[in-house]
Amino acid sequence: MNQTLNLSSGPHVRDAWSTSFIMKMVLLALMPATVIGILTFGLPALWVVLTSVLTAVGTELIYDKLTHRPDTWKDGSAAVTGLMLALTLSAQAPLYTPFLGAVFAILVVKCCFGGLGKNFLNPALAARCFLLISFPNSMTAYGIDGVVSATPVAELAAGQAVNITSMFLGSANGVIGGSILGLLIGGLALWSFDVIHGQIWISVLGSFTLFMGLFGPKGFDPGFLLAHLCGGGVVLGAFFMATDYVTSPMSRLGQTFYGVLIGVLGALFRIKGQAADSFSYSIIVANLFTPLIDTYIVDKPYAFRKRMIQRRLEGKQPFRIPKPVVVLTGIALLAGLALSGVYSMTKENIDAQKAAAAAKAYQAVLPEAASFEACTEQLAALNGEVYGEGYGRVYIRDALIGKDEAGNVVGYAVSVSSAEGYDGNVTLSVGVSPEGKINAISFTELHETPGKGMLCGEPAFMDQFAGQEAKALILGTDIDAIVGVTITSKAVTNAVNAGVDFINTQLRGK
Amino acid sequence: MRLTFRGGVHPKGRKELSREVPLRRFDPGPGEMVFPLAQHIGKPAKAIVKKNDPVLVGQKLAEADGFVSACVISSCSGKVKAVEKRRTIAGTMSECVVVDNDGAYTPIDGLGQKQELSHLTNQDILNRVKEAGIIGLGGAGFPTHVKLAPKEPDRIKYLIANGAECEPYISCNDQLMRSHAAGIVEGLELALRLFPHAECVVAIEDNKPEAIAAMQKAVAGKARMRVLPLHTKYPQGGERSLIRVIAGVDFPVSMLPADVGCIVLNVGTAYAIGRAVAWNEPLFSHVLTVTGEAVQTPANFIARDGTSLAQLLEACGGVKAGVTPKKALSGGPMMGVAVASLELPIQKNTNALTLLAEDPVERAERQQTVCLHCGRCSTICPNGLVPALMADAIAMQNWGRYENKLHGLECIACGSCTYICPAKRPLTQMFKQTKAEIMARKRAAQAGGKA
């Protein structure tokens, strides 16, 4: 025994888990969703994933070399960021988006703030938000096999039914990591191995569902709530993004608070805001609160906690609801009341404005009419369902017969909505003369991409309909589509056709 | 539901190396035996022998100096060689009595004779425990006669015999319970006399079924005694963990176990009480495990105080052929202290020599990264602290937050957070140091206030 013995302060054994081991576990847990995503969306998805992951790792490698820092690119955290970013992108995204996003995530959000453990935002989500702001068009082009259409959450926001099964399995339209099945397999596995904290994802999903049920448009309708949970990255966010160690609070109480914040904000953005990408923002906002939460909300040691239940059993103290629960419930209620208050206060105004806009639109399409007669019977027969076949998801909202002062029919007007706009609903009125000619069309709801979809609201496009025979118009033959605005052009034409068909079959000649 | 506390970790037990090896006595041959005067918490003992004094086995070498102190007993016969500073297991130079062991082990009169117990008063029992130099053999070495004399003995509800032995590698208490169950129970019955309203609970981790069976047999039919098998988890054998499980109480470090109606005695201490009071045999030998991947044949001993670690390793056949020991620990790998040399005397509370062939700390230092804020440390902290935030507060030198908001002084230095940390940060070590610094600052402030 002459050799030197190591000296160190105890303990002298260590758990097998290291930083890179945890990163590998997260990568593995993301695999089911990634594989399903690639199988669903095909090769483009694979390219997006590869670009994002390789760029993220490469950026960190170059940063390490240039700044002579330890080789942190090997620990796997950059790969996790890259993969998470890819899963939040559309397979249709041009490859420069994952590239720029990964560079932004690693270089700006992570490395510039001191590398692993120091970033104050989740790098993948921050990059996604960066891309959403920078490239709104290509970032929201979701589709399978090149056919771009609205995402389920956009449809939900438009008040339509969606196919939850396809959302669950991942075959629905959306981001690459959209398979709830795959995400749940990975997320629950991580949870069961204690890699992620249950209090975060449970409080995120729980508060989201509760808030959506309490203040959402459909109450606790299971199908509606499930559809909202399955869509728009709620599951990806709850299991993989919100649980990101660095940007989530450390104590159990703080984690619960943080989770509730994400859930409530997410639901609030869904109910009141633009549909699809709100969940990313709610997590980013909660990230910003993490240092504050860690400063003020810290678990007390067991010896300092009041064990309410035990005291109640011993009869020493009446049972009290834990303070955080009271506070959080209070905040949730106040926010909800404020929202519903604002809503009901403004509702009349909004309704009046809507009616005025509609009246204006009817006037525009039937200028000769002095009064309008509602066709409630024919409308009621539709049951509010999708109208006809071949028009896509088109709904007849209103139907009127226009009469002049003498009571003679001078034309027919319908209000038609198509849910297949590029960014939600397109609603328009179409007027048809008794002779069977289209008078004009007028938009009451059109919020498409400026410079693209919005061009459909310009006379150059709209005026093509005026004077056309009241029959099914064909895009490209009867109507020239706007170059590069196929989706909106198609939605508008379909809506007009549906309206004309309704007038022809239900109103004219009766 | 298995009985356990909240949090905790599961380091590899490695008890299979030595757990089936029965206890055997080890008497070193003639040579030096070293007895430090400060083996316990409290004031060091005062030497009552001087150079060239003849001593016998069981003879008192040093007297307890004040109430919180403990006597030191000779484990061999021979002549006092010196009373001087020697290096001890704690790593410092401290005053020791060095005896030149003649190897004959001649006992003092009446050593090991059965004593009449029926007439003993409580004070007699406490005096004998004090005279025998008994301290807590589980770890810290708190003088047992102090522990057994709380302010209100009538309010003690549980006398907990700690046979959990949650520290990895160590198996000597397992063997002690298997082979000396009756002796342990004898000591516990004596201790129980001091606490008329207490129930004695023998707590053993469920990875020691033989010990549980032996103890159950020994307590069968005894009033106020039971055996409680516990979930195997570190630090199950910590005083606070045991009280959490048995009495259902969490209490801050400002309180003693007696304040919540509990007295915790290691089974080895209980055995020593029995030997001292009933057999007139003061504490000069105790059980100890020599183990580790670098030991030829790991073994459990009843070893004499003052024996050197090197002699014990020799008794196990020395270092395993072809293996280079990387680290030697007095104690186990969680709470043990790394020693630079094996030429150090064992003390009353030395429960193991662990010789590691691999040093996991070397590897951990290579893997060290910054804190991920993963929160694993707070999940496993048996006291419910948030170590990562405590470390942040230390980095910012925010002592107020450390002490008041994060309750950092509640850390019992069990090492679980350092063990579990995936970033391999030396958390426990930081907390030990910070605690010492804060305490020193407080003492300085107090002294300044007085002056």
Q: Are B434 and B333 contained in the same domain?
A: no
- Measure Cα distances from B171 to B168, B235, B403 in Å: 8, 15, 37
- What is the complex's ipTM, to 2 decimals? 0.86
* Per-residue pLDDT, B381: 93
Q: Are B253 and B115 contained in the same domain?
A: yes
**B120 is written with which tokens?**
């003993």
Cis amide bond preceding B235, omega within 30: yes
- pLDDT tier, A499 (very low <50, low <70, confident <90, very high otherwise): confident
CB contact under 8 A, B370 and A118: yes
Q: Compare all CA atoms of chain A with the CA of B252 and give the residue at the minimum distance.
A: A303
Q: Are strands A438-446 and B78-87 parallel, antiparallel or unpaired?
A: unpaired
Tell whether the model's pLDDT for residue A508 goes beyond 80. Answer: no
* Per-residue pLDDT, A509: 63
**A19 is written with which tokens?**
């930083």
The Cα B353–Cα A451 span in angstroms is 79
Which region among A238-252, A312-326, A399-413 has the lowest average model confidence (pLDDT)?
A312-326
Which region among A175-179, A341-345, B371-375 has the lowest average model confidence (pLDDT)?
A341-345
Across the range A403-427, mean pLDDT stands at: 84
pLDDT, tens digit, 9 for 90 and up, residues B223-266: 899 999 999 999 999 999 999 899 888 888 888 899 999 999 99
Q: Are B97 and B127 contained in the same domain?
A: no
- pLDDT tier, B391 (very low <50, low <70, confident <90, very high otherwise): very high
What percentage of chain B reaches a pLDDT higher than 90? 80
Q: Are B93 and B119 contained in the same domain?
A: no
Mean pLDDT of chain A: 84
Q: Are B351 and B233 contained in the same domain?
A: yes
Domain that holds residue B97: 27-101
Tell whether the model's pLDDT for residue A19 goes beyond 60. Answer: yes
Which region among A25-29, A56-60, A319-323, B313-317 has the lowest average model confidence (pLDDT)?
A319-323
H or E element at residue B203? strand B199-205
* Per-residue pLDDT, A158: 62
Tell whether the model's pLDDT for residue A22 goes beyond 90. Answer: yes
Mean pLDDT of chain B: 92
Work out whether the CA dihedral A392, A394, A400, A402 comes out positive or negative: negative
For the question of whether the overall pTM of this predicted structure is more than 0.80, the answer is no
Q: Which of B249, B309, B354, B373 to mutate to test the interface with A (most CBs of A within 10 A)?
A: B373
Q: Compare all CA atoms of chain B with the CA of A13 and give the residue at the minimum distance.
A: B360
The Cα B184–Cα A350 span in angstroms is 84
Across the range B400-429, mean pLDDT stands at: 93
Place of tokens 């009901």: A344
The Cα A97–Cα B122 span in angstroms is 82
The Cα B189–Cα B182 span in angstroms is 10
* Residues facing residue B213 across a β-bridge: none
Place of tokens 């670009």: A51
Domain boundary among B335, B358, B381: B358
Greater pLDDT, B380 or B449: B380
Q: Are B286 and B407 contained in the same domain?
A: no
Chain B residues inside the 8 Å CB shell of A242: none
Which region among A6-15, A324-333, A403-412 has the lowest average model confidence (pLDDT)?
A324-333
- Measure Cα distances from B199 to A360, B5, B239 in Å: 89, 20, 17
Domain boundary among B319, B336, B358: B358
Instruction: Centre a 10 Å sphere on the Cβ of residue B447 and count the other Cβ atoms it contains.
Output: 9
A341's CB contacts (< 8 A; 6+ apart) are none
Nearest to B389 among A3, A294, A304 (CB): A294
Cβ under 8 Å to A: B residues 214-273:
244, 248, 250-252
Task: State the DSSP string of B23-35.
Answer: PEEE---SEEEEE
* Per-residue pLDDT, A161: 63
| Total of domains in chain B | 3
Across the range A416-421, mean pLDDT stands at: 84
Place of tokens 């539901």: B1
pLDDT, tens digit, 9 for 90 and up, residues B91-113: 889 999 999 999 999 999 989 89
Q: Are B354 and B371 contained in the same domain?
A: no
Q: Are B75 and B125 contained in the same domain?
A: no
* Per-residue pLDDT, B451: 56
- pLDDT tier, A320 (very low <50, low <70, confident <90, very high otherwise): low
The Cα B130–Cα A221 span in angstroms is 74
Across the range B325-341, mean pLDDT stands at: 92
The Cα B184–Cα B201 span in angstroms is 12
Greater pLDDT, B296 or A10: B296
Q: Are strands B225-230 and B199-205 parallel, antiparallel or unpaired?
A: parallel
CATH number for A19-304 (one of 1.10.1740, 3.40.50, 2.40.30, 1.10.3430): it is 1.10.3430
Nearest to A302 among B335, B384, B406 (CB): B384
CB contact under 8 A, A15 and B383: no
* Per-residue pLDDT, B1: 40
The Cα A484–Cα A370 span in angstroms is 39
What percentage of chain B reaches a pLDDT higher than 70? 99
Chain B residues inside the 8 Å CB shell of A201: none
Q: Are B72 and B127 contained in the same domain?
A: no
pLDDT, tens digit, 9 for 90 and up, residues A207-252: 999 998 888 887 788 888 888 888 778 899 999 999 999 999 988 8
Q: Are B376 and B393 contained in the same domain?
A: yes
Q: Compare all CA atoms of chain A with the CA of B382 and give the residue at the minimum distance.
A: A302
Domain boundary among B341, B358, B375: B358
CATH at B50: 2.40.50
Work out whether the CA dihedral A90, A94, A95, A98 comes out positive or negative: negative
Q: Are B1 and B37 contained in the same domain?
A: no
Highest mean pLDDT among A342-351, A491-500, B389-398: B389-398
Chain B residues inside the 8 Å CB shell of A15: 9, 11, 419-422
- Measure Cα distances from B79 to A324, B50, B53, B345 in Å: 70, 10, 6, 17
Q: Compare all CA atoms of chain B with the CA of A6 and give the residue at the minimum distance.
A: B327
H or E element at residue A446? strand A438-446
Q: Which of A3, A5, A6, A12 to mutate to test the interface with B (most CBs of B within 10 A)?
A: A12
Q: CB of A2 within 8 A of CB of B407?
A: no
pLDDT, tens digit, 9 for 90 and up, residues A121-148: 999 999 999 998 888 777 766 755 555 5
* Residues facing residue A417 across a β-bridge: A395, A427
Tell whether the model's pLDDT for residue B18 goes beyond 80. Answer: yes
Asked if the C-beta of B334 comes within 8 angstroms of chain A's C-beta atoms, the answer is yes
Nearest to A11 among B370, B418, B422 (CB): B418
Q: CB of B95 within 8 A of CB of B37?
A: yes
Asked if the C-beta of B371 comes within 8 angstroms of chain A's C-beta atoms, the answer is yes
* Per-residue pLDDT, B309: 95
Tell whether the model's pLDDT for residue A276 goes beyond 70. Answer: no
CATH at B164: 3.40.50.11540
Largest CA distance in chain A: 119
Residue in B288, B53, B260 with CA at minimum distance from that of residue B165: B288
Q: Where are the domains of chain A?
A: 19-304, 367-507
